[in-house]
Amino acid sequence: MKSFRTKKWLKGLMLAMLMIVGSTVFSASAKEVQAATAGFKTIGGKTYYIKSDGSKQKGWMTLGGYKYYFNTKTGVQVKGWMKVNGKYTYYFTKGKGVMATGWMTDSKGHKRYFNPKTGKLTTGWINCSNGRKRYFTKGGGIMATGWLTNSKGQKRYFYKTSGYMATKWVKNKSKNISYYFAPDTGYMCTGLKTIDQKKYYFKSNGVMAVSTSVTVNGITYSIAANGVATAKTTKPNVNVSNGNVKVYDTKNSRYYTMVKEYKSHPGIVNGKTSDEALLAALCESEAGDQGKIGMEAVALCVLNRTIKSDREFPSTIRGVIYENIGSSTTPQYSVVRNGALLKRLNGQFENRTLAYQAAREAMTIFNKHVTSGKARTLSGFKQKDFNYMYFMMTSYFWNQNLNFSKVKYETYKGHTFFVDWV
């Protein structure tokens, strides 16, 4: 009887052990099945990544060397554009949702570049390893190609295949026309420019003029087939009695009397000193201590005189600078006589780069006013259209015989600028 009970007890024990083992095997099988289902799942038309524990992946995930992103709240995989702070920042392919890196071209042929490490969309300017520049629009990061005009009306050109910004000479072989773009900024050049010590003239659309003649600030230039412009100079009549030079102004159809420095200063009579170089020398001589804006203001006063309707002043920059005052032998500008201008004409600038920049920018402002009527705006001045023609040290200004209740004037640093004598 005891043996029977023992056997019965042993059978019960064995049955219990089998049940425990069976339970363990079932549990392991469930985990294996769950692990096998981990991965990308499409539920209700949306893609998720289900982790091995059954939860949804959220945020960034790297898998197989690729990066993916899932909504941090819902776990829905992001495909297409993802904005950060309201700006397009990342792009994930619409098929597998892989984060874009490097170059991508959309269905419209637009090229974009995504940082290879971070995946962030490139916008604005980038400097390439070969020293060239590219520009990507700030809104959508599209690589600029062809012509691009900024808010100031300045034009640049970007090569259509590479996207590089054009600099220096560019020739359209199919049309046999040439352009020149500033080496530093890439701005398309217009008007009369000195390049590698030679003068060229570029039309308003940037095309270099060839085999023609143009008149700029009263000086006529003959332009060869290769685009090189040469000033047509007329030997001035010399008044022997006082040594002054009488110059005939073809635009104004009258003679103007110049001070003797017109003859003695280098490159003035023969035109070898360009208008830009002369204007740069003058504006630094007069306002070198007043920064670029102060020098631009002086340059604009000179330029504005060249278009005075009553022809009181010559129509050329050099004519305005070297004209004498009335019947005297005194120059319009004291720096002509005191050696300050000559010093710069001989190359002795305090800051040559800044002086040339001021002269160049003033000429650009002025030329746009002449050709299109655009207001001559200058930072730091309240006058909406800078039409001032006179300037002098402020302390001298208040000692002049002027009707100060009527004269239109404005003071900038050490100079006071005004339109006319009233």
What is d(CA 298, CA 284) in angstroms, rounded to the nearest whole number?
9
Tokens 């469930």, residue located: 30
Is residue 398 pLDDT above 50, yes or no?
Answer: yes
Contacts for 111 with CB less than 8 Å, ≥ 6 apart: 103, 104, 105, 142, 143, 145, 163
Is residue 349 pLDDT above 90, yes or no?
Answer: yes
Is residue 194 pLDDT above 70, yes or no?
Answer: yes
Q: What dihedral angle (degrees, nearest 10) is formed by the CA atoms of 134, 140, 145, 146?
A: -130
Is residue 415 pLDDT above 90, yes or no?
Answer: yes
Identify residue 308 by its one-letter amino acid code: K
Mean of all residue pLDDT scores within the chain: 86
Residue 142's pLDDT band (cuts 50, 70, 90): very high
CATH code linked to domain 146-231? 2.10.270.10
pLDDT at 166: 95
pLDDT at 87: 83
Is residue 11 pLDDT above 70, yes or no?
Answer: no
Percent helix, strand, coil in the chain (nearest 5)?
25, 30, 45
118 Rama sector, left if φ>0, alpha if ψ -120 to 50, beta otherwise = alpha
Give per-residue pLDDT as tens, 262-271.
Answer: 989 999 988 8
Give per-residue pLDDT as tens, 292-347.
Answer: 999 999 999 999 999 999 999 999 999 999 998 876 677 889 999 999 999 999 99
Q: What dihedral angle (degrees, nearest 10) is formed by the CA atoms of 141, 143, 146, 150?
A: 40
46-136, CATH topology level: left handed beta-beta-3-solenoid (2.10.270)
Is residue 378 pLDDT above 70, yes or no?
Answer: yes
Residue 243's pLDDT band (cuts 50, 70, 90): low
Give per-residue pLDDT as tens, 76-97.
Answer: 999 999 988 888 889 999 889 9
Residue 421's pLDDT band (cuts 50, 70, 90): confident
pLDDT at 328: 66
DSSP 351: S
The residue-averaged pLDDT of 380-402 equals: 92
Domain with CATH 2.10.270.10 in the chain: 46-136, 146-231
How many percent of the chain have pLDDT more than 70?
88
Please give the structure tokens belonging to residue 417.
């600028």
Which backbone phi and psi does 292 adopt, to 5 degrees?
-65, -40
pLDDT at 18: 43
Chain centroid to CA 383: 25
What is d(CA 111, CA 122) in angstroms, rounded to the nearest whole number?
11
Read out DSSP for 110-143? Answer: -EEEE-TTT-PBP-EEEE-TTS-EEEE-TTT-PB
Taking the complete model, does pTM exceed 0.75, yes or no? Answer: no
Residue 399's pLDDT band (cuts 50, 70, 90): confident
Helices 352-372 and 291-305, packing angle to 10 deg: 40
Distances (CA, A) of 121 to 84, 136, 137, 357: 11, 9, 11, 35
Of 296, 258, 257, 267, nearest to 379 (Cα)? Answer: 296
Contacts for 380 with CB less than 8 Å, ≥ 6 apart: 293, 412
Query: Within 10 A of 275 (CB to CB), how many other CB atoms are there?
Result: 23
Is residue 26 pLDDT above 90, yes or no?
Answer: no
Tokens 């095997």, residue located: 25
Which of 226-230, 233-237, 334-338 comes out lowest in average pLDDT? 233-237
Is residue 279 pLDDT above 50, yes or no?
Answer: yes
Please give the structure tokens belonging to residue 88.
């397009």
Contacts for 352 with CB less than 8 Å, ≥ 6 apart: 280
